[in-house]
Amino acid sequence: MKKIMALFVFLCILMAQAVVFAAENTNTSNSAPVNTVKRWILINIPARSLRLYEDNNCVAMYPVGVGRIETKTPAGFYKIVEKIENPTWVDPGDTSVAISSGPDNPLGYRWLGIGGNYGIHGTNKPSSVGHYVSNGCVRMVEADVEKLFDKVDVGTEVQIMYNRLVIDKTQDGRVAYYIYPDGYNMQNLTVDFVKQGLAGYGIADFVSDDYVAKSIEASNGLPNFVAAPVNLMYNGKKLDFKAVNYQNLTYVPVENLAKTLNTAVKVENNNATTTKGSAAVSLFSKKPYIRLTDISNIFDVNFTLNKNYTVATLTPITANAVQPVEINEVADEKDKQDTTVKQDTVKQNNVNVPKRENSLNAEKELYKSVDTKIKPEQKTIDFEKSVVDNNETDKMELVTVK
């Protein structure tokens, strides 16, 4: 009997060890990696656009229809509180009237509620997307809202802002700014405000006040390309000012660099002079700049550029050092040596700013989607869930998108 009990205990121990081993093996080998990417939605009312972000990266952008001036879409911070497929529309004025899911439903086939009677949804009037048309909700083309619906969850953060000025970086590193119409007549833009936004990228000197004023007057939502900022590194630290790649030439602000290197410099007659030598100066917004390739003519530093031309590293000149040459300036450097540098290399006073009625036309290829579910319009239905004005939610958060 004792032998049988001992064998039974032994088997129990083996089984327990097997369970522990299996659990440990599952936790270490077969568990799925935790997804730490944060998805969130940004809606800009003047741009009539919705962007889906993963962390700080925009992964999708869609056109939207927003509230009329009488029934504004309220700016503020929200979260998706419900997801409904094939929603039923109920007439807010007569709750006995309802339209079930189908081609006549003003909500389309998807509803993403963000609180109260507000939501992001489809529409049976796709031609209304891109305009100020709703009672406060955000309309999307059906194919777009279905894509978005599948990518977000309840709890996803939604930021709605009213920002006529949007600043973005293009894939080639250039900074472009967009100015949209003031649909709600609530944000007056000035030249100084726009240039302050561009100053954050270090490229404000490279666009004239006159050009900015004309782009504000046009307010057409088209991109205004300026220049590409280049970060400067010295002694292992990033400097608090930038070089600028403008028309395939890279320029450095003379006075800022002289202060950093503790070197006295004199600027006159389109030249910057130190005890080491002189270099030609270009004036942008009346501020003196020299070419990056000329810095060793007047300062005791050389430079290297990374392959994307986004970072220039400055290093003290040592004995027998060979001065590097910026690749994109080699071809024309010799031809330009004898050229007199004039103030404001490229004049932007005579600006021909294109006009358009719909600020989304220029981005139609980016926004293009095929709506296969909505049948041709048969009625001019323009109803949505009722919207109640709430001063507590109507908070405007002006954010420049980078």
Is 341 inside a domain boundary? no
At 111, the amino acid letter reads W
Q: Is pLDDT above 90 for 225?
A: yes
Per-residue confidence (pLDDT) for residue 23, from 0 to 100: 46
The 10s digit of each residue's pLDDT in 147-190 is 999 999 999 999 999 999 999 998 889 999 999 999 999 999 99
Q: In the structure, what pLDDT confidence band is assigned to residue 208 with cuts at 50, 70 and 90?
A: very high
Structural domain range at position 310:
248-336
DSSP 292-322: GGGHHHHSSEEEEE-TTSSEEEEEE--TTPP
Report the domain count for the chain.
3
Helix (H) or strand (E) holding 15: helix 2-25
- Do 134 and 196 sit in the same domain of this protein? no
| Rama region for 223: left / alpha / beta (φ>0; ψ in -120 to 50; rest) | beta
Take residue 236 and report the two structure tokens written for it.
Answer: 């292992």
**Tens-digit pLDDT profile for residues 363-378:** 443 344 333 333 333 3
pLDDT in tens, 245-287: 999 999 999 999 999 999 999 999 999 999 999 999 999 999 9
Distances from the Cα of 278 to the Cαs of 234, 256, 320, in angstroms?
Answer: 22, 16, 21
Residues 92 and 199 in one domain: no
Residue-level pLDDT at 140: 97
* Closest by Cα among 401, 395, 379 to 99: 379
**pLDDT at site 328:** 47
Neighbouring CB atoms inside 10 A of 3's CB total 7
Is-contact 290 276, C-beta < 8 A?
no
Q: For residues 25 and 111, which has the higher predicted lDDT (pLDDT)?
A: 111
* Options 12, 58, 121, 131, the catalytic residue: 121
The DSSP 8-state label assigned to residue 30 in this structure reads: I
- Say if residue 62 is in the same domain as residue 176: no
Calpha distance 383→390 (Å, rounded): 20
129 three-state secondary structure: coil
Q: Are 43 and 158 in contact (CB under 8 A)?
A: yes
**Same-domain status, 173 and 138:** no
Catalytic hit among 12, 58, 131, 137: 137
Tokens of 43: 């809606």
pTM, 2 dp: 0.71
The verdict on 108 and 212 lying in the same domain is: no
What distance in Å separates the CA atoms of residue 129 and residue 133, rounded to the nearest whole number? 8
Q: Same structural domain for residues 136 and 174?
A: no
Residues 223 and 312 in one domain: no
CA–CA distance, 109 with 100 (Å, rounded to integer): 10
Q: In sequence order, what are the residues at sequence separation of 6 or more whose Cβ sits closer than 8 angstroms to the Cβ of residue 216?
A: 179, 189, 190, 191, 194
With residue 151 as reference, give the H or E element that holds it: helix 142-151
Per-residue pLDDT at 89? 87
**Phi and psi of 83, rounded to 5°?**
-125, 125
pLDDT band of residue 35 (cuts 50, 70, 90) is low
Active site residue 58: no
Reply yes or no on whether 121 is catalytic. yes
The predicted structure's pLDDT at residue 171: 85
In the predicted model, what is the mean pLDDT of the chain?
Answer: 79
Together in a domain, 44 and 152: yes
Phi, psi of 280 (to 5 degrees): -65, 145
Report which listed range, 7-11, 35-39, 86-90, 145-149, is most confident.
Answer: 145-149
In a domain, 288, yes or no: yes
Identify the DSSP state of 65. Answer: B
Same structural domain, 115 and 47? yes
62 and 154 in a single domain? The answer is yes
Residue 346 scores a pLDDT above 80: no
**Which residue type does 193 have?**
F
> Is residue 320's pLDDT more than 60?
no
Does residue 361 belong to any structural domain of this protein?
A: no
Based on the fold, state whether residues 47 and 149 are members of the same structural domain.
yes
Residues 271 and 170 in one domain: no
Q: Which residue type, as a one-letter code, is found at position 211?
A: Y
CA distance 230 to 312: 7
